[in-house]
Structures are given as structure tokens and as C-alpha cells.
């Protein structure tokens, strides 16, 4: 069984004490494909080091996380622009809009989101979207930029059925992680109505650990809890769901 974690922050400081052991647990659980999103320039070297250590399993993205869009965001964008010219990445991400922490930077976030989408189109790469308290704002930018060469993953999807269909209409897969195991997660109530062709698995480790680990540090091995929950929702074996979602990830990342 090959499992793909399409969103895991393996370079996080949360893993500094036991990163190799954490990776071993993931590999033993069947996770052999780890897609690693960028946050900002301060983590780039740690990402590269991780890739060097696990070249057959770790695939890097490049981008600026929306909560790191501050006054100097043009400098961060230039870092992304330079990196994209220097080497290949699996995707542009994670990018998007986050109005949970700071609404005052909305214009800057929109500009950064739009700019990075245009780079993704130029390099024929998928985008990986971060959206928190900002569905309308994210959809507004996607509507402006929609085209056949716009595609990717709506990371950590926690919206409604209507929002799920809207995201899919923009050529986005839905990234499903630990939230699907939460009692108040809500997406488990309608997910069976979304074809598995539109679903990919993720952990967002070290964040959003699934039940029974909720509240603790998340890691890629815990994706088995997500897989088990989807098996119950869709009435299919964990192996079949792992295969379908891995194939979906290959269609997106071309890896």
C-alpha cells in the first residue's frame, strides 16, 4: 500500500528532536511520498536538507504562506521567484489568504496570491491553497485567474458542500486530513457525496492531529487514521482509497 501525504511540514522545529524516527514511522506506516510546503524564506535551507536526506521520498514546494505576508512581502516573493528559476519544485505552495490572524493585510495577501498563481501557470505547476476564514476572498482570486492551466489542491479543506464543489470547479483537489476525524469537523457529513477522484490525503503535520491524537503533535504516520475514516465514509478498503488518492496526487504533482 503506497500512501501519499500531500501536505506535511517535516522541517518544522517540532520534529527537531526526533525527525529521523518520525520519518521512519511514516515510512513503516506505508507513507512513501511526502510533499512539503514552504512557509517563508527562513525555512528554505531546512527544506533542502530534508530533501537531500530523503531524495526518493520528499518533494518540495515553494511559496509564501499568507500569514507571512507582511510589510516586506515583496522581498519574500523575490526569494520565491529566484528559487523557481534555480531548480524544480513539485508545486507553488502553500499560498492563499488567511483572515483569521490579521485582516489588515488582505490587499497584500491578494496580491501575493495572484502573483504566485501566475508563476505557477508560467512554470506549469500546481498550486496548494491555504484558506482560513477567507473562502470568498480566495474564490474571488481563483475566478480572476481561472484557466485550463490553473490546477492544484485546496489544502485542509474545511468548507461546506457548496464550497467543495466550487473549489473542484477551479480544478482543485480537496486535501483531507485530521479534521475529517473530528466530531465537529462537519466535512464527514457530506464527503461521501464527493467523488474520490477529487480527494487527496494530507496531515499538515505537526498540526491538526487526527483523533485519537487530537491536541498532540501530528506526524505523517497518523495519516492512517484519516485513511481509516475515509474507508468508513466511502465503504471502500483502506488499500483502495490509498491507491486512488495516490493516483490523484500523481495527476496533480506529475510525480
> pLDDT tens, position by position, for the chain (255 residues)?
999 999 999 999 999 999 999 999 999 999 999 999 999 999 999 999 999 999 999 999 999 999 999 888 999 999 999 999 999 999 999 999 999 988 999 999 999 999 999 999 999 999 999 999 999 999 999 999 999 999 999 999 999 999 999 999 999 999 999 999 999 889 999 999 999 999 999 999 999 999 999 999 999 999 999 999 999 999 999 999 999 999 999 999 999
**What is the torsion angle, in degrees rounded to the nearest 10, for the CA atoms of residue 167, residue 169, residue 173 and residue 174?**
30
The three-state secondary structure class of 240 is helix
Q: What secondary structure letter does DSSP report for 209?
A: P
The three-state secondary structure class of 127 is strand
Geometric angle at alpha carbon 155, from 219 and 10, rounded to 5°: 30
CB 7 within 8 A of CB 155: yes
CB 187 within 8 A of CB 179: yes
Q: Which residues of 89-106 are buried (b: 16+ CB within 10 A; e: fewer)?
A: bbbbbbbbbbbeeeeebb
For residue 242, the surrounding DSSP H or E stretch is helix 238-253
Q: Where are the alpha helices (DSSP H) in 30-100?
A: 44-53, 73-86
86 closest CA partner among 62, 54, 50, 68: 62
Total domains, the chain: 1
Residues 67, 89: Cα–Cα separation, whole Å = 21
Q: Where are the alpha helices (DSSP H) in 33-134?
A: 44-53, 73-86, 106-122
| Cell numbers given for 154 | 485546496
The CATH number given to whatever domain includes residue 198 is 3.20.20.140
Bridge-based pairing state of the strands 3-5 and 91-98: unpaired
99 closest CA partner among 49, 134, 140: 134
Domain that holds residue 199: 3-253
Amino acid at each position: 500500500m503506497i500512501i501519499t501525504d500531500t501536505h506535511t511540514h517535516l522541517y518544522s522545529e517540532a520534529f527537531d528532536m526526533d525527525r529521523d524516527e518520525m520519518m521512519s514511522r511514516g515510512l513503516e506506516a506505508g507513507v512513501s511520498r511526502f510533499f512539503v510546503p514552504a512557509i517563508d524564506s527562513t525555512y528554505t535551507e531546512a527544506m533542502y536538507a530534508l530533501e537531500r536526506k530523503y531524495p526518493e521520498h520528499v518533494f518540495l514546494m515553494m511559496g509564501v504562506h499568507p500569514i507571512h505576508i507582511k510589510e516586506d512581502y515583496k522581498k519574500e516573493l523575490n526569494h520565491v521567484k529566484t528559487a523557481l528559476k534555480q531548480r524544480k519544485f513539485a508545486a507553488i505552495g502553500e499560498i492563499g489568504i488567511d483572515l483569521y490572524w490579521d485582516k489588515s493585510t488582505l490587499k497584500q495577501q491578494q496580491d501575493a496570491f495572484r502573483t504566485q498563481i501566475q508563476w505557477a501557470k508560467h512554470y506549469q505547476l500546481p498550486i496548494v491553497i491555504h484558506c482560513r476564514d477567507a473562502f470568498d476572498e480566495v474564490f474571488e482570486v481563483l475566478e480572476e485567474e481561472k484557466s485550463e492551466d490553473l490546477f492544484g489542491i485546496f489544502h485542509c479543506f474545511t468548507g461546506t458542500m457548496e464550497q467543495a464543489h466550487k473549489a473542484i470547479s477551479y480544478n482543485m483537489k480537496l486535501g483531507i486530513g485530521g479534521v475529517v476525524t473530528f466530531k465537529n469537523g462537519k466535512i464527514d457529513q457530506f464527503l461521501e457525496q464527493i467523488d474520490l477522484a477529487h480527494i487527496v490525503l494530507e496531515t499538515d503535520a505537526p498540526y491538526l492531529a487526527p483523533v485519537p491524537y487530537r491536541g498532540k503533535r501530528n506526524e505523517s504516520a497518523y495519516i492512517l487514521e484519516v485513511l481509516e475514516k475515509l474507508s468508513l465514509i466511502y465503504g471502500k478498503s483502506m488499500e483502495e482509497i490509498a491507491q486512488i488518492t495516490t493516483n490523484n496526487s500523481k495527476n496533480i504533482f506529475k510525480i
